[in-house]
Amino acid sequence: MLFDTHVHLNDEQFNEDLQEVIERAKEVGVSHMVVVGFNRSTIERAISLVEEYNFLYASIGWHPVDAIDMTDEDLAWIEELSAHPKVVALGEMGLDYHWDKSPHDIQQEVFRRQIRLAKKLKLPIIIHNRDATKDVIQILREENAEDIGGIMHCFSGSAETAKECIEMNFYISLGGPVTFKNAKKPKRVAEEVPLDRMLIETDCPYLAPHPYRGKRNEPAYVKLVAEQIAELKEISFEEVANKTTENAKKLFGID
């Protein structure tokens, strides 16, 4: 069994062949997926998908790139939707200093507000971090995010940073980049992070693993991520698949 902890099946790229994409995932053993909504339209689509498919779950939040657009009403709406029985986390949330749509101070405030909401709701959080590691870690510490924990999604930092995050009650989630030939940092992270603090994901339709790099990613390819981690850790694929699924179910409170 494989658990893809971060999919965007709510993306328009899947409008034409969603059922075929889901069938391909099931054929390779993907048993659970979390569909991530990060603004009004993607959250609405995520909720509709989890109501249609019993093996899909949702995480809802506000993406840092769009932080400047988030209103008090949006945050209240997320809180209201969080009562849905298939909403298992808040996010993705965090900081993204690569794109300049939202000023850093606004991103940070929106991030803090979502962490506080998650603590109130007792839900884990899914963290998006791009070019902002120092500030992400600082905010997680200042907001006592370890009380709820969560996921460092598509982790791209160092093994040392991974250790810091684990100490704050976060899981390290690896995706397609761990399969890239010259991706030294993700490979070292895969080797050093204990399996009981690791998750796997695709972030589809983005970041497709080798040999599909540059093409549309899909949940079936999470098997390639698990296989690469197994090779790097010199353990069986089954051990990686079973333990990362167990980790995800524990974090999300799924039986």
Q: Where is the binding site for a divalent metal cation, in residues? A: 6, 8, 92, 128, 153, 203
- The order of strands in the sheet holding 56-60 is 2-7, 30-37, 56-60, 87-96, 125-130, 150-152, 170-174, 198-200
* Dist. CA 87–CA 105, nearest whole Å: 28
- CA pair distance 238, 68, nearest whole angstrom: 43
- Could you list the residues known to form a binding site, using ranges: 6, 8, 92, 128, 153, 203
Q: Provide the residue type at 242 as one letter.
A: N
List the structure tokens of 72: 């008090």
Lookup: tokens for 169: 């009650």
Which candidate, 35, 37, 107, places its Cα nearest to that of 65? 107
Residue whose structure tokens are 């929106």: 110
Distance CA 116, CA 1 (A): 33
